[in-house]
Amino acid sequence: MGALKEYHRFLFEAGTDEAGRGCLAGPVTVAAVILPPRYDSGLLNDSKELSEKQRRLVGAEIITNALSFSIVHIDPATVDEINILNASILGMHRALSALSTEPRHILVDGNQFKPFGNFSHECIVKGDGKFMSIAAASVLAKNARDDYMSKIHEEYPQYNWRQNKGYPTREHRRAIHKFGLTPYHRKTFKIKNDQLSLEL
């Protein structure tokens, strides 16, 4: 797996990442994680590079060993109201606020963020493949969101969210055309540039 590392200048660095940003249904789910110094995991990597079995194993290991972690869901109505980028950043702020250990520095996956309190932060493009704390957050966020989508699948099985997780697959789009939208769908969500603009 990739050679992930700590952001060595800080002892308590919090990594934060999201899952579900490009979905048509379900929440955007965000995790924040503070790993212990010199944490070592042979399997930890960007969640997109792990099989589901590997993600579950790594997720359990992170939950057991992390100094602190938190996971939050930002509902589709909020995504519609403030756009997906701002909803992701809101989720990061809420997840960071819920940590039981105060971070010294925040590592953010991506290239945009709004300052959180008086804490220093750094945005790192593709950070989930570079730094352990961000990778750990990506794993927890992905696992938690998959569990959430499997749960609401039972309420609306015709959309097959257990499998497509709310992403815009052909099957999912056909189900929307046939059955319409649910309360879990992002009513205004479109994959276009104005969803990726940051309003400071």
User: What's this model's pTM, rounded to 2 decimal places?
Assistant: 0.90
**Which residues touch 74 (CB under 8 Å, ≥6 apart)?**
27, 28, 29, 30, 87, 88, 90, 91, 94
- Which pLDDT tens digit goes with each residue over 44-93? 877 888 899 999 999 999 999 999 999 999 999 999 999 999 999 999 99
CATH assignment of 13-150? 3.30.420.10
Q: Which two tokens stand for residue 151?
A: 């749960």
